[in-house]
Amino acid sequence: MIYLDNAATTRVRPEAAQAALEVMTRDFGNPSTRYALGTAAAERLAADRAVVAQALGCRAEEVVFTSCGTEGDNWAIRATLELGKRKGKHIVTTAIEHSAVLEPLRHLAAQGYEVTYLRPDRNGHISPAQVEGALRPDTVLVSMMLVNNELGTLLPVREAAEAVRRSGCPALVHTDAVQGFLKVPFTPEGLGVDLLTLSGHKIGAPKGIGALYIRRGLKLRPLLFGGGQEGGLRPGTEPTAQIAALAAACRVWMDHREEYTERMKVVKDHFLSSLQAALPRAVVVSPGDAPHICAVSLPGYPSEMLVRELSDRGICVSAGSACRRGKPSYVFAATGRPKTELLGTLRVSFSPESTPEEADALVSALEEIAQSRVSL
């Protein structure tokens, strides 16, 4: 099998699986208990939190573990609006956020919030001037992702945070950094954000673990009420095995960061140039600013059919997050490209283990499909 859908999820790294196994079978104590097994679990949890904080470039007490990126996004948005409820009801976001941001905002819009959706240009970029122009005295939240999950484009989060500060509006700034974490260089403080979401399963940790960065000093409403875990903000017995796996995956990435970035970029560039050489009518919808994601289109060949045909050949790529029944994903559609291009768009996403040979196999398979099928 050739797996080129690493923006959807990643294979769990052996180091992460090993760490989880150790915690599940040996260091399995409840960190809230007072005997040696429990205190050892609490110490390991503290050490693992410190590793995740180091990978993010923040303080350990600013990291709160969550179950996934969706939880972090939902919590950040709802808690921010709770804090700002006397200051305003206006939210700025982009039309290309993940549904983990767009769906809570849709519900909030039904409750009287006004949401401004910034639209990207043809290449999937949003300009700092767009953010500046959208801010109002009653803007209480700006939520902008760091790296788009379908186009691989970088969004101007730092500039958005600067614009908020300059404008004097009361907004807090949240970024969904699920696709950017460890793939592009940043720190929450360098970005100037108040809240930042990450998810473990995009970097070789298992599904079911994520984290929310909460800037020191920001008093957020707890997500749940219960025991005092996670500083009382997100109670529930800590998923110590998943946390250990997340920390182990972070450690591997930190140890090889430059090498991994370069490897993914080389394979992606190789894929894009081989594709254009083999299939001149293929369109690069987005080469991706991030090293691991790009979007390409074979106009006239619906992406659902391409995904199926590629799957039959043992190759996994994605048609975008919500490509259903002849409708392009809303992210691709937001670029305003011609419909034939949009309908044939595929997201290809790499991991540090991806190879040029795998990219070549994908190009050959697409060539074969294009020869055997009449375009629409």
Instruction: Select from 55, 96, 178, 369 the one that contacts ligand PLP (CB under 6 A).
Output: 178
> How far is the C-alpha of 8 from the C-alpha of 2, rounded, in Å?
14
Rg (CA), the chain: 21
> Residue 337: exposed, middle, or buried by beta-carbon count in 10 A (0-12, 13-18, 19+)?
buried
Instruction: Select from 16, 68, 157, 323 the one that contacts ligand PLP (CB under 6 A).
Output: 68
Q: Provide the 10 A C-beta neighbour count for residue 128.
A: 15
Instruction: Select from 93, 116, 130, 199 the one that contacts ligand PLP (CB under 6 A).
Output: 199
Q: For ligand PLP, which is the closer residue by CB, 41 or 203? A: 203
CB of 317 to ligand PLP, least distance (A): 15
Q: Is 62 in the site for ligand PLP (CB under 6 A)?
A: no
Q: Which stretch binds ligand PLP (CB under 6 A): 35-43, 174-182, 259-267, 353-361?
A: 174-182
> How far is the C-alpha of 212 from the C-alpha of 197, rounded, in Å?
5
Give the torsion through C-alpha atoms of 167, 173, 178, 182, to 10 deg. 70
CB of 201 to ligand PLP, least distance (A): 6
Q: Residues touching ligand PLP: how many (CB under 6 A)?
A: 14
Q: For ligand PLP, which is the closer residue by CB, 68 or 285? A: 68
**Contact of 158 with 175, CB cutoff 8 Å:** no
Instruction: Select from 6, 17, 41, 70 the one that contacts ligand PLP (CB under 6 A).
Output: 70
Q: Which residues of 310-331 are buried (b: 16+ CB within 10 A; e: fewer)?
A: beeeebbbbbbbebeeeebbbb
Q: For ligand PLP, which is the closer residue by CB, 29 or 180? A: 180
DSSP 298: -
Nearest C-alpha neighbor of 198 from the set 172, 186, 190: 186
To the query of whether residue 68 is one of the catalytic residues in this protein, the response is no
Q: Which stretch binds ligand PLP (CB under 6 A): 62-70, 76-84, 153-161, 269-277?
A: 62-70
Instruction: Select from 62, 159, 176, 341 the one that contacts ligand PLP (CB under 6 A).
Output: 176
CB of 273 to ligand PLP, least distance (A): 26
Q: Is 174 in the site for ligand PLP (CB under 6 A)?
A: no
Nearest-CB residue for ligand PLP: 69
* Interaction mask 85-124, ligand PLP, x per CB under 6 A: -------------x-x------------------------
Instruction: Select from 76, 145, 182, 223 the one that contacts ligand PLP (CB under 6 A).
Output: 145
* CB contact set of 335 (below 8 Å; sequence gap of 6+): 120, 121, 122, 123, 124, 151, 285, 286, 342
Six token digits for residue 225: 């009420």
Give the torsion through C-alpha atoms of 230, 234, 99, 152, to 10 deg. 0
| Catalytic site positions | 323
- List residues near ligand PLP by CB under 6 A: 68-70, 73, 98, 100, 145, 149, 176, 178-179, 199, 201, 210
